[in-house]
Each structure stands twice: as structure tokens, then as C-alpha cells.
Structure 1
């Protein structure tokens, strides 16, 4: 079965450095993602949250371990799932671009489904999680109301 990709985009009324730092600094996740815990298990090679860093995200029974695979502040980072979620070969990238009056946050995750049911269910769950992260960051930095009006754009590619 082919790789399934979900991409979520959201305008955030804050500079890219602010948005990127909230995502890259795993200790900040508990501030903007209410009820979500995150901690660094291992530091990265050139930066504590950079390439090679391993972070734990979530709360049992839905918790994961992720390794940072690319780190280019304040523009982008990528990570891969090590353990914890039922998604085979899950990888994601986060890009923050400067736009007028703020940032465009693009969060894309992909996985290889093991069957058709996982393909649909995994994509739905991933879309909900990534969308929730984007809305939570927007609310945290700009008092955004989180409405799904003109600022959330999603796409799923098989």
C-alpha cells in the first residue's frame, strides 16, 4: 500500500521565530497543547532540541517517542516516530514561513498503512491531531478563536 500523507496549514499572527520555538522546544508543548505532556529523553547533537534529540510526547495510553531528523531554525524541523503510535514508518515535517502579519505553519505527516482500514482511520486521526496542534499554537500566541474558517487548509494525498 502506498504512503499516506496529511498536510495541515494555518496562518498564525506571530513571527516565525515564536512559532518555531514553541514547536521545537518540547518543554513548551504543555503550555500551548493543553493536557499534552512532553519531555526530552535525549539531547540533539548541535542543539538540545535539534537533530538526534528524542522527545516523548503525549500521555498514556496515547504517547509516543520521536526523534528529530532535521532542524533548521526558525524555518523547519522533521521527525520520525520511534514508538508509541500504531502508524508504520511515520515521519513528519514542520515548516514555518514568514507571511504578511505573521507566519504560515505547515505540518505534514505521512505513514505507510498496513491495510485499507488503517489508511482511512490513520489519516483521519492524523488530520485531527495535526490540525489540533496548529489551532492550539494559534490560540496560544495570538488569542485566535480556533474557528476553522479561512485559516485551516488540509489535504490528504495517497
Structure 2
């Protein structure tokens, strides 16, 4: 399993707001070329992002689905990119001081990629996830900088997901 961490200078809620915006997936996930659709209940368990990976004209269209979620602390995904296989990704957001320590754990779960020895696969996954966390940091930290003086959520409305309680800071 490849494990990559980065300290982001924003609260876990700002990080999770980016994770919960399925349409932003191709902005921070290295290799995702475009988003074709996002299930309305993303990031609920079973919800999917319909994406394409690769570079034109060599694009593979597949899906990433949510296997588990503990907002705003953890999101577990199963990313498909057949014929190469499927990966399992766990993203953890742990408060640390004024920021959030974000950890991405990723491993090949099935298909041809799962046959590659982990010591061979890990350096490539780690390098990709270093860049992914850099991009995620740009998005989440930018959101955090937009916080207004009234203690609201950056003047940016929080995403309202089915079954999620309203953030009391939104009412300010």
C-alpha cells in the first residue's frame, strides 16, 4: 500500500468540501481527464463519479464509487479504470493544530495492476499522490482563505449533501 501525507492549512471541513464536490475530481486527481457525471447523492456510500482517465485520444471511461464515509474525517473509494484494474483509496483528514493532516492510502485491488509487486507499484502511486495532495491543498486552502470576518464558512456556502445536517456557521 502506498501512503502519502500532506499538512493542509485549513480545517477538515474545507478539505472535505472539495472531496464532496464530485465535479472537482478531475481538478485534483492526477490522471482523471474529465468528469462525465456525478451521482446526486455523492459522497454517500454507493454513489459514483463517472470519469475518464488518460489523455485524448487514449481515454478510458469508468467510475469511482464510495465504499465508506465519515464526514469530514474519511472517504474510502473504489476507483475503476479497466482494463488496468481497480484501486482502493482511503483519504483521511485529521485535525492537526490549525490545519489538517491529509493521508491518502492507495493500493491496486484487482485486475492486472494488482499483479504488479507492491514495491514496484508504490513509488509511482506515491509520486502521483504527492501531486494530487498538492492540487487538493490549492483547492481546500483557497476555500479556507475566503472565510469571512463573521465566522462563516468563507462566504462560500457549504455543500448540502443528502442526510447532512446544516452547518450552524452557514446561518451567520
What TM-score, normalized by structure 1, do the two folds share?
Answer: 0.69
Distance 1:114 1:23, change over 3 A: same
Distance 1:106 1:62, change over 3 A: farther
1:90 equivalenced with 2:87 (yes/no): yes
Aligned equivalents of 2:131 and 2:83: distance in 1? 17
> Counterpart in 1 of 2:13?
17
> Counterpart in 1 of 2:137?
138
> Counterpart in 1 of 2:47?
53
- Contact 2:49/2:65 (<8 A) preserved: yes
**RMSD over aligned Cα atoms:** 2.7
Within 5 Å, which residues of 2 pair with 1:59-138? Answer: 59-60=53-54, 61=58, 63=60, 64-84=62-82, 86-87=84-85, 89-111=86-108, 113-116=114-117, 119-138=118-137
Aligned equivalents of 1:75 and 1:102: distance in 2? 13
Aligned equivalents of 1:62 and 1:7: distance in 2? 27
Greater Rg over alpha carbons, structure: 2
What runs of 5+ residues in structure 2 fail to find an aligned partner?
143-172
> Counterpart in 1 of 2:3?
7
- Contact 1:24/1:77 (<8 A) preserved: no
- What is the total number of aligned residue pairs between the two structures? 133
Superposed structure 1 runs of 4+ greater than 6 Å apart = none
Shift of 1:111: 2.0
Aligned equivalents of 1:28 and 1:80: distance in 2? 17
Q: Name the stretch that deviates more: 56-65 or 70-79.
A: 56-65
